[in-house]
Amino acid sequence: MTDPATCIADVRSAIDRAASTADRDPASITLIAISKTFGPDRIKPVIDAGHRHFGENRVQESLAKWPDLKSEASDLTLHLVGPLQSNKAREAVALFDVIHSVDRPKIARALKDEMDRQGRKLDLFVQINTGEEPQKAGIVPAEADAFLDTCRLDLGLGLKGLMCIPPVDDHPAPHFALLAKIAARNGLSGLSMGMSADYEEAIMLGATHVRVGSAIFGARTAKPA
């Protein structure tokens, strides 16, 4: 198995090249190392190599490993990229710094209440179901503008941007372009899009946050939820 610290350096170089091709500042692209299913033995070397942004898709799994790992470095940023249940909002707000999966009014409200209660301000992304897949989380494109208004005007939530996970069998580019278009017309600058197979393409289409797992940590044996 290749060492994840070496792999992440390669991914960072590829990001810098893609940014340069797209005439973008590489510093405007945050690489989130998605460490779901991997244990501290795989994650620590990446922290030691100086990487600071990590992502997980399950609150429960994160609670089991990140409180300890967070003590490895005081300036880690932890991203939740998977679904959030409102009964986990309290723990999620306490542990994470960024949530990419705001996808319904009930969650937006629960996050707002918890951030107020805990005096913490997280960066929030709204997940858009660009492929309108029934089994997938996210707001469908036709309802995006109204939901963003609900978050911002009714709840007073500051939003960082939008996130999508294109359908596995589709070419991702039209989904990335659609996400960028919805963000632009709503005045949002953050675009969380692109994974191991397509992060360079996402950067061409404006990604500000790429979520890369297997290209850094290797193939996952445990199936993620």
- Binding residue for ligand PLP, selected from 81, 93, 122, 124, defined by CB under 6 A: 81
Any contact of residue 82 with ligand PLP (CB under 6 A)? yes
Distance CA 101, CA 164 (A): 9
* Window 6 to 45, contacts with ligand PLP (CB under 6 A): 34, 36
At its nearest, how many Å lie between ligand PLP and the CB of residue 127? Answer: 9
At its nearest, how many Å lie between ligand PLP and the CB of residue 59? Answer: 13
Q: How far is CA 42 from the centre of its chain?
A: 20
Any contact of residue 46 with ligand PLP (CB under 6 A)? no
CA dihedral 152, 79, 59, 135 (to 10 degrees): 70
Which H helix or E strand runs over 129?
none
Which residue of this chain has its Cβ atom nearest to ligand PLP in the complex? Answer: 213
Number of chain residues interacting with ligand PLP (CB under 6 A): 15
Two structure tokens written together for 200: 């360079």
Any contact of residue 165 with ligand PLP (CB under 6 A)? yes
Any contact of residue 92 with ligand PLP (CB under 6 A)? no
* Window 98 to 157, contacts with ligand PLP (CB under 6 A): none
Three-state DSSP class for 4?
A: helix
At its nearest, how many Å lie between ligand PLP and the CB of residue 100? Answer: 7
If the CB atoms of residues 153 and 222 are measured against ligand PLP, the closer one turns out to be: 222
Any contact of residue 79 with ligand PLP (CB under 6 A)? no
Name the residue with tokens 């992304």. Answer: 125
- Binding residue for ligand PLP, selected from 30, 35, 57, 130, defined by CB under 6 A: 57
Q: What residues form DSSP beta bridges with 34?
A: 55
**127, 137 contact by CB (below 8 A):** yes
At its nearest, how many Å lie between ligand PLP and the CB of residue 221? Answer: 12
Question: What is the identity of the amino acid at 48?
Answer: D
At its nearest, how many Å lie between ligand PLP and the CB of residue 182? Answer: 18
Q: Nearest Cα to 198, choosing from 173, 164, 178?
A: 173
At its nearest, how many Å lie between ligand PLP and the CB of residue 192? Answer: 8
Two structure tokens written together for 85: 């249940």
Question: What is the identity of the amino acid at 60?
Answer: Q
Alpha carbon distance, N-terminus to C-terminus of the chain: 24
Q: Which residues sit at the interface with ligand PLP, rule CB under 6 A? A: 34, 36, 57, 81-82, 165, 195-197, 211-215, 224
